[in-house]
Amino acid sequence: MSTPLIGVLGGMGPLATVDLLHKIVEETPASRDQDHVPVVVWNVPQIPDRQQALAGNGESPLPTLLHAIRQLNRLSVSHIVVPCNTAHHWFDAFAEVSPAPLVHIADATLYALTQADEAKASPRKIGLIATHGTLNAGWYQQRFAAQLGAETVVPNEQEMTTLFVPGCYAVKRGELQHGGRLLEQLAAQLVERGAERLVLACTEVPPALEAVSSRWRDISIDPTRALAQACVRLWLQR
Amino acid sequence: MSTPLIGVLGGMGPLATVDLLHKIVEETPASRDQDHVPVVVWNVPQIPDRQQALAGNGESPLPTLLHAIRQLNRLSVSHIVVPCNTAHHWFDAFAEVSPAPLVHIADATLYALTQADEAKASPRKIGLIATHGTLNAGWYQQRFAAQLGAETVVPNEQEMTTLFVPGCYAVKRGELQHGGRLLEQLAAQLVERGAERLVLACTEVPPALEAVSSRWRDISIDPTRALAQACVRLWLQR
């Protein structure tokens, strides 16, 4: 295999992309610049809103996303990752046009969950914080059930409207504290309903919980960090 | 003018590149993803060491850097920025092969210095924290003298050996606290010798001073942030 060159299809939102890049640096065992993972990033946020498109209220982001996939491939990337859970709705369409294979964020997360719980009993209930698009797609729920035998606890419609959606858009506006407080409340509700672990499956959520030093970070799996770890594994396997 | 698309020639080091991207997001007035600056990033750190090459102890990074400039231009970037002061040694060679114009980090810094001191008296002495390569090149000293009539206070050889170089390489290894303590001491020495402002002209320095919550941040100008602000101006002028 030739040297890896990770392509990042970013911009959804731009801060989530920066967060992935930061976590790739953090997760890499390195003693000098040259040890770090080579990455090319398409961080162009002029993409129609994914949540609105999936709700039937807006233009499809697919043509713009396929353009980005093609641009990354022009630079001969070896793999592509997408630091946006919701955008995985179009994962099969990306894979169809991309010579470089794509790493699915839910596969990376399952790997991280398995590693985290290796020594302990596997969780019976996992809380999932995600957009409507991701929740409806069922990627995480299916994997939790099939691979871990675990049940998924999801936010109800009222929690989505009053906590998740405003929290997520607050982060996109740069209001991390405000967003963090709303998402912290949502995390508490899922734990209240029995979640032993939380999967923060929207890339806006981990930076927001970090900003408010949330107590739930200890039981949380951050798919962005899991995706970063997957990139580092590809680099170290070269 | 067509829509800007900022190309970032990164990887020197990878954390400095992430820092620039983060500052671009922070400096952008945005209420949604689509308001943010479109950026393409070549963050491939497999580049021969710049400091060693300039000291005559290693391979030239120029061929690798020119390849990166060409790759960014293949994606039709409108401008290119380089979040590494030392790499500006090869600025003219980049400009020669690049259809997209390059923003010089010292020009962006001068603009930021002028803005910061608009209301106040211009500083008479400016401390400059930078690599040997940047210090010897004289970009900053010349601009301070010519445009601000200010004298530059630079580290002496002993301070370079015992504080700057080990501090800078500690950051590259991810040891921000350790690096921050060394660079904090260097900042104190320059202030002791009369510097009224500090220009942190090595992209490893601002994250390190941030990590130790340095008291000198108030009088410091961060060329990485200045470069981020230049990118945001290009985007807002569209």
Residue B175 to chain A, least CA–CA distance (Å): 10
Q: How many CB pairs under 8 A join A and B?
A: 120
| DSSP H or E stretch at residue B39 | strand B39-43
Q: Stretch B90-102: mean pLDDT, rounded?
A: 97
| Helices B105-116 and B223-236: angle between axes, nearest 10 degrees | 90
pLDDT digits (tens, 9 = 90+) for A96-111: 999 999 999 999 999 9
Residue A59: is its pLDDT beyond 90?
yes
Rounded to the nearest integer, the mean pLDDT of chain B is 94
| Predicted confidence (pLDDT) per residue in A122-172, tens digit | 899 999 999 999 999 999 999 999 999 999 999 999 999 999 999 999 988
* Residue B56: burial class (beta carbons within 10 Å; 0-12, 13-18, 19+): exposed
Name which of A18, A31, A38 is nearest B22 (Cβ-Cβ). Answer: A18
Told to judge if B231 belongs to the known catalytic residues of this protein, a careful annotator would answer no
Local confidence band at A75 (pLDDT 50, 70, 90 cut-offs): very high
Kindly state the average pLDDT of the residues B102-121: 86
Residue-wise pLDDT tens digits, B120-146? 678 999 999 999 999 999 999 999 999
pLDDT mean across residues, chain A: 94
DSSP H helical ranges for chain B: 14-27, 50-54, 62-74, 91-97, 105-116, 132-137, 139-148, 157-159, 165-172, 176-192, 205-211, 223-236
CB A162 within 8 A of CB A150: no
Categorize the per-residue pLDDT at A51 as very low, low, confident or very high, splitting at 50, 70 and 90.
Answer: confident
Is pLDDT of B1 > 60? no
From chain B residues 46-105, the ones with a CB under 8 A of any chain A CB are: 46-47, 49, 71, 74-75
Mean pLDDT, range B212-238, rounded to an integer: 96
Distance between CA atoms of residues A32 and A17, nearest Å: 23
A23 Cβ contact partners less than 8 Å away, ≥ 6 residues apart: A222, A224, A225, A228
pLDDT confidence tier of residue A236, bands split at 50, 70 and 90: very high
Is the dihedral angle over the CA atoms B106, B111, B114, B119 positive or is it negative?
A: negative
Greatest pairwise CA separation for chain B in angstroms: 49
Substitution target from A33, A41, A69, A173 for chain B, most B beta carbons within 10 A: A33
Query: Which two tokens mark B232?
Result: 């945001």
Burial of A175 (0-12, 13-18, 19+ CB in 10 A): middle
Please write the tens of the pLDDT for every residue from B16-49.
999 999 999 999 999 899 999 999 999 999 999 9
Average pLDDT estimate for B156-170: 96
Quick count: other Cβ atoms within 10 Å of Cβ A11? 26
Comparing A187-191, B62-66, B169-173, the range with the smallest average pLDDT is B169-173
User: At CB < 8 A and 24+ separation, what contacts does A145-152 make?
Assistant: A147/A110, A147/A114, A148/A110, A148/A113, A148/A114, A148/A122, A148/A123, A149/A122, A149/A124, A150/A122, A150/A123, A150/A124, A150/A125, A150/A126, A151/A124, A151/A125, A151/A126, A152/A125, A152/A126, A152/A127, A152/A128
Q: Which residues of B touch A174 (CB under 8 A)?
A: 25-26, 30
- Tell me the catalytic residues of A: 84, 202
With 60 as the cut, is the pLDDT of residue A1 above it? no
pLDDT at B203: 86
Interface subset of A 168-227, CB within 8 angstroms of B: 169, 172-174
Percent of chain A with pLDDT over 90: 85
How high is the pLDDT of residue A238? Answer: 87
Return the pLDDT at A203: 86
In A, which residues are within 8 Å of B33 by CB distance? 11-14, 45, 47, 49, 172
B118 pLDDT band, cuts 50/70/90, is low
- Mutation target vs B (from A3, A6, A18; most B CBs, 10 A cutoff): A18
Cα B195 versus chain centre, distance:
19
Predicted-complex ipTM score: 0.90
pLDDT grade for A118, boundaries at 50, 70 and 90: low
Spell out the alpha helix ranges (H) of B28-126. Answer: 50-54, 62-74, 91-97, 105-116
